Amino acid sequence: MKEGFPPSDQGVGPERSVIIFHLGKETFAFPAPIVQYVSEPKKIHGLPHHKSNLVKGIVNVDGQIKIALSLYQIFGVPETENPSRLMLVGPPGGDFVFMVDHLLGVSNYLVSNLHPTKKPFVLGIIPPIQVIDERLLFRHLGEIFHAG
């Protein structure tokens, strides 16, 4: 992997593994244990009579229909035209598909090295990487899709 967390001799505590990727010009990371599948982009089928910037449509992932959402919309990042990777992320049965611009690889970080942030759904930052708080993100998405 060419990009990752800077080496650090400082910090104590648990180490976490993440999958790092670009969304536009910003760099994010999902905890590795929740990333179930990564592939080349697949065709996303729009939903008739459904207009949402968050929900992109549905996609077939190994014979299973999954909801495709926009991380760009969630994080307020300008959407690009040709994302290069599809990621299936989340706990089984509560997973979603996200398109990302560029997959950088897997890296480890020490939890104690995270800088606090007020950005929604971001656990912390180790510049320039924003580590996504998957519990908050999936709780929020669950509320959206189970409301009403």
Query: What are the pLDDT digits (tens) for 14-38?
Result: 899 999 999 999 999 999 999 999 9
pLDDT averaged over every residue in the chain: 90
Enclosing domain of residue 106? 16-146
CA distance 86 to 100: 6
Residue 137: the pLDDT is 95
**4 domain-assigned:** no
Given a cut of 80, whether residue 11 has pLDDT beyond it is no
Q: Which two tokens stand for residue 90?
A: 């989340």
Residue 50: the pLDDT is 79
**49 domain-assigned:** yes
DSSP 3-state percent helix, strand, coil across the chain (nearest 5): 15, 45, 40
CATH code of the domain containing 45: 2.40.50.180
**7 domain-assigned:** no
CA distance 143 to 140: 5
Q: Which of 3-7, 19-23, 143-147: highest mean pLDDT?
A: 19-23
Compute the average pLDDT of residues 110-134: 96
**41 domain-assigned:** yes
Given a cut of 70, whether residue 8 has pLDDT beyond it is no
**1 domain-assigned:** no
**Do the Cβ atoms of 38 and 142 come closer than 8 Å?**
no
**10 domain-assigned:** no
Query: What are the pLDDT digits (tens) for 68-114?
Result: 999 999 999 999 999 999 999 998 778 999 999 999 999 999 999 99
Residues 6+ apart with CB under 8 A from 63: none
Number of domains comprising the chain: 1
Going by their DSSP bridges, the two strands 26-31 and 15-23 should be labelled as antiparallel
Q: Which of 72, 40, 43, 74 is nearest to 58 (CA)?
A: 43
CA distance 20 to 11: 20
Q: Which residue has the tokens 């611009």?
A: 101
**104 domain-assigned:** yes
Give the confidence band of 10 by pLDDT, cuts at 50, 70, 90: low
Residue 2: the pLDDT is 47
